[in-house]
Homo-oligomer: A and B are copies of this chain.
Amino acid sequence: MRFLLTNDDGIYARGLAALYQELSKDAECIVVAPEVEQSAVGHAITIFRPLMVRKARKNGSFLGYAVAGTPADCVKIGICELAGGPVDLVVSGINRGANVGINVLYSGTVSAATEAAIQRVPSIAVSLDTHQEADFTAATRFARRIAAFVLRHPQPPVALNVNVPAIPEAEIKGIAVVKQGHARLMENFDRRIDPRENIYYWLAGETELPACEDEDTDACALKRGMITITPICFDLTRYDLLDSLKSGIKDHFPRL
């Protein structure tokens, strides 16, 4: 078995090291990760400059390939060039901070997994719901178990977005297979003036708290102490709107 590991927090992140340690029990793990942190880069790829690639070491031993690019770049070049053979599974994480709701679209962690599915390799993105100093034990242990699940259930390669609550393993309430919610950041922009009188803005704001009474979404299940799993698509068509749009367009543009 050969796993490709990546993340968006960068190759020296603790969450990636913890993931490597746990998954190495089952497979040869090749790390191909961004040289520097790439949070919120979404599904960006690098096309107008080359990717510098370097063998990264820690305490003298080979850690993996550091790529001066995005998480999606790492998955592309990892699968095509650096892994040294067919990749059975891509695992992205462990991310510091949940990736639920609208934030899934901005997430480099999740986009790495989506890129793997595009490349016909099954994948898992794993995020831990804390920005504090994190204990990755429960998340890495679950990553190993869900990896085994994915490999035993051959299916069209799909990306799974997994979020783990930051509570002791024994207190986790269960696993919820749920849809992505629509909770989002309610933005405001903090306007400032720099010492040379240029205007700049910081993105600020609070994430909308979803009303969870009857919502069966990633954000709500995670809040209830569940591990959440959401299968993620790379076909962005709104199929539910195709028919009404077809007839609307036909009426509006009768001559085209």
Contact = CB atoms under 8 A, between A and B. Distances in A.
A237 B233 contact: yes
A108 to B, nearest CB: 8
Number of copies: 2
Contacts of A53: 199-201
Interface string A182-215: 1010011101100000111111000000000000
A117 B54 CA distance: 39
Nearest to A190: B50
Size category of the binding interface on chain A: 35 or more
Contact of A42 (B42, B102, B227, B231): B42
B76 A187 contact: yes
Contacts of A238: 158, 231-233
28 contacts: A42-B42, A42-B45, A43-B106, A45-B106, A46-B203, A50-B200, A51-B200, A51-B203, A72-B106, A77-B189, A80-B187, A81-B201, A102-B234, A105-B234, A145-B253, A149-B249, A153-B248, A155-B241, A160-B245, A175-B253, A179-B235, A179-B237, A227-B256, A229-B245, A231-B237, A231-B242, A232-B237, A232-B238
Interface of A: 37, 39-48, 50-54, 72-73, 76-77, 80-81, 102, 104-106, 111, 114, 118, 145, 149, 152-153, 155, 158, 160, 172, 174-175, 177, 179-180, 182, 184, 187-189, 191-192, 198-203, 227, 229-239, 241-242, 244-246, 248-249, 252-253, 256
